[in-house]
Amino acid sequence: MNIPVVPITADNTASAIDALRELWPHYAAEEMVRVIDQQLRPNGYQLVGIFADGSPAAAAVLGYRIQHSLWLGQSLYIVDIATLPEWRGRGFGDRLMAWAEAEAARLGCSAVHLDSGVGRERAAAHRLYMRHHYQIGCHHFVKRLGG
C-alpha cells in the first residue's frame, strides 16, 4: 500500500478523532475537535494522517508541533501518534514516523522527540520508537495540581 501521508487541516479535524480517541478515550468527539481547533492549533499543533480504503476517517494520525529550546534548538515534537485497531500491523506507524523525520529535516530541525507513557499496554508503541532508533533521552516528571 502506497497511501500518502496528508495534512489534516482545521476544516477536517473530525477525520482524525477516531484514531486520537484510541489515545485519549475520555474526550467526547465534539470536545476533542473543539480543543484541537481552539486551543492546540493556535499554539502550533498540526495533524497529518493516512486515509485508507477511501474512508473519511483517518486510519492513522500524527499530531506534532515545532518547538524551540536550549536543549535541542528547533525540533519537531510528536504530541500524538495513533492507529485505529483494524489498521494496526500494516506499517502506518512506521510511515508516520518516517514522515515526521523527513519533515523535521526539511524544516531544519535538530531532532524529533516525543514522550510516551509507561506500562505493558505501551509495549507496541515503544517497539515502534526503538525500531526508528529513538533513545530514552530523559525522565519526564509530572506533578498534577488541584483536585
Model confidence pLDDT, tens digit, residues 83-122? 999 999 999 999 999 999 999 999 999 999 988 777 777 7
Write the burial class of residue 76 (CB in 10 Å: 0-12 exposed, 13-18 middle, 19+ buried): buried
The reply to whether 77 falls in a domain is: yes
- Note down the domain range covering 88: 5-132
Q: Assess if residue 142 is contained within a domain.
A: no
CATH of the domain at 125: 3.40.630.30
* In a domain? residue 140: no
Closest CA to 114 of 105, 104, 5: 104
Name residue, grid cell 509507561. 118
Give the pLDDT band (50/70/90) at residue 79: very high
State the SS3 of 85-137: HHHCCCCHHHHHHHHHHHHHHHCCCCEEEECCCCCHHHHHHHHHHHHCCCCCC
Can you say whether residue 105 is alpha, beta or left, with left for phi > 0 and alpha for psi between -120 and 50 degrees? Answer: alpha
Cα(43)–Cα(115) distance, integer angstroms: 18
Examine residue 141 and state whether it is found in any structural domain, yes or no.
no
For the entire predicted model, the pTM comes to 0.88
In a domain, 29, yes or no: yes
Residue 60 lies in a domain: yes
pLDDT of residue 1: 57
Question: pLDDT (tens digit, 9 = 90+) per residue, 16-29?
Answer: 999 999 999 999 99
Per-residue pLDDT, 143: 76
Residue 146 covered by a domain: no
Looking at the DSSP bridge assignments, the partners of residue 67 are 75
The answer to whether residue 145 is domain-embedded is no
Domain count within the chain: 1
H helices of 10-115, where? 17-23, 29-35, 92-106
Tens-place pLDDT, residues 120-132:
777 667 677 778 7
